[in-house]
Structure 1
Amino acid sequence: MEMSTVLTDISRKLNRVMLKGFHGFLKRFLIKDCPYRLEKIGSDYGGWVVPTNLIKPDWVCYCAGVGEDITFDLGIIERFSCNVFAFEPTPRAKKYVGKIAVNNKKFHFYQIGLWSKDSIQKFFVPTNPRFVSHSILNLSETQDFFEANCQRLSTIMQNLEHEKIDLLKMDIEGAEHEVLKSLIEDNIDIKVIGVEFEPMSFLKVIISTFKLMSYKYSLVSIDGRNYTFIKTQILNV
């Protein structure tokens, strides 16, 4: 085994250990009491914890990162009758959606990726060909990739003529840090943000978490890698 591979493996394991400790710190000291009912909607793999008695039928919900599990997206539609706008550039995910949700009038699929700028980006394949998730940041350090159109969140909102987003869920394989930074820069007001933080960089997770807190969001749930934030002023009403 090459030394670079060994060092990469050690780095990843160290990141996971530090993240586990960080999760413990957040759960003990920084997770806020939530006056709303927190429930997990969707499967064990693809589900997310959200404040279910806060969500209304007129909410605009963005779900970035579809893969081959839209149980959360469809669960939101079934339970609250919201419109869900899903974004995923992977061709395999598009085929999956075509089989599962093609006739669902409240599920709107767009084959684009979220990023910090409007551009064509390379999406690198996972190590295991059975996995569907591809990464702009090449988390698996592979050679093969496909190229896809990516847009800044504010651009997508403008194109869809949305003045607001009520719920944003992101499972975008490491791109979450750039997207969070861009939505703060653009001063986009979102009631609930759900984000999966990939364990690639302990420092990036810390920075993004505290950036959201400084942007007046409160952390209300950690479920594995999935964090749920709610706008602090909503909690204080």
Structure 2
Amino acid sequence: MSLRIVAAKARTKLTIFALEGLLRPERPPGMLRFGTYYGGWWIPEVDPSSGPAFCVGAGTDVSFDVELQRLGYTVHTADPTPAAVEHVRREHPSLHLLPVGVWTEDGELSFAQDETWSESWAIDPHADAAASTTPVRSLPVLTVRSLVAAAGETRAGLLKLDIEGAEHAVLRQMLADDVRPRVLCVEFDDHRVRHVLASTRLLRRHGYRLLQIEGLNYIFVRD
């Protein structure tokens, strides 16, 4: 492992530690974790009656989605990237797959492939396929509000966002569109302190409480 990667991991751990101290998650008793070590999430309750679950950012680990389905949720799994679409269709056909990403508007957007992990793709509105040294694809995207409508639903009881750095912009748009999932699971891949603080404060102003932080994963609930 290169010194650059080691240094980046150390900075990430320090940032996570600092954010936990600043944000002070409630850490209530009774939280439940479902899914694998890599792909799993904590949630405060199991309540399929709160509405369907939308899990955005599947990759090749949909263990959380599968567990939610087993618990009685209607689960819509969204991811437009090739490996994710193939994996869900082949290994988990009972999941409702929506082969789209989420963004601040509907349309198509450039996704760039991660240089270190070929199965990971991130929205990059400025990616140039001709000039890029990594693969770039144009893939469909929807707002969270449009995603819910495309699934034939009227609300989301639980929303998981693992969208490789696009989460801050998507959360702002979701709240502007008056979409309010009861449980919100967000991976802050863009974990710069000012961005995480801004998004958390915005969510709190809209009635969300921060329950728990696990690494880059943040769990919120709205009463």
Identify the TM-score tier after normalising by the shorter chain: 0.7 to 0.9
Mark the runs of 5 or more structure 2 residues left unpaired by the alignment. Answer: 126-131
Pairing partner for 1:21 from 7, 18, 22: 18
Among 166, 171, 175, the alignment partner of 2:166 is 175
Q: After TM superposition, give the deviation of residue 158 of structure 1 in Å.
A: 2.4
The gaps in structure 1 that reach 5 residues or longer are: 1-5
Query: TM-score, normalized by length of structure 2?
Result: 0.86
Deviation at 1:18, TM superposition (A): 3.0
Match of 1:120 among 98, 108, 124: 108
Provide closer, same or farther for how the CA distance between residues 226 and 156 of structure 1 changes in structure 2, counting only shifts above 3 A: same
Alpha-carbon distance, 1:161 to partner: 3.2
Does the 8 Å CA contact 2:115/2:134 hold for their aligned counterparts? no
Percent identity at matched positions? 27
User: Corresponding residue for 2:55?
Assistant: 63
Distance in 1, Cα, partners of 2:221 & 2:152 = 24
Q: Is the 1:15–1:199 Cα contact (8 Å) retained in structure 2?
A: no
Equivalence map 1:121-140=2 (5 Å): 121-128=109-116, 130-137=117-124
Contact 1:122 1:147 (8 Å CA) reproduced:
yes
Instruction: Please give the secondary structure, in 2, of the residue aligned with 1:135.
Output: strand
Report deviation, 1:134.
Answer: 0.5
Match of 1:230 in 2: 221
Equivalent residue for 1:161? 152
Alpha-carbon shift at residue 212 of structure 1 (Å): 0.6
> Residue 58 of structure 1: CA displacement?
6.4
2:85 is the alignment partner of 1:94: yes
For residue 68 of structure 1, report the CA deviation from its aligned partner.
0.5
After TM superposition, which residue ranges in structure 1, 4 or more long, deviate above 4 angstroms?
Answer: 9-16
- Tell me what 2:67 maps to: 75
The AA in structure 2 aligned to 1:69 is D
Count how many residue pairs are aligned between Structure 1 and Structure 2.
214
CA contact (8 A) 1:66 1:93 kept: yes
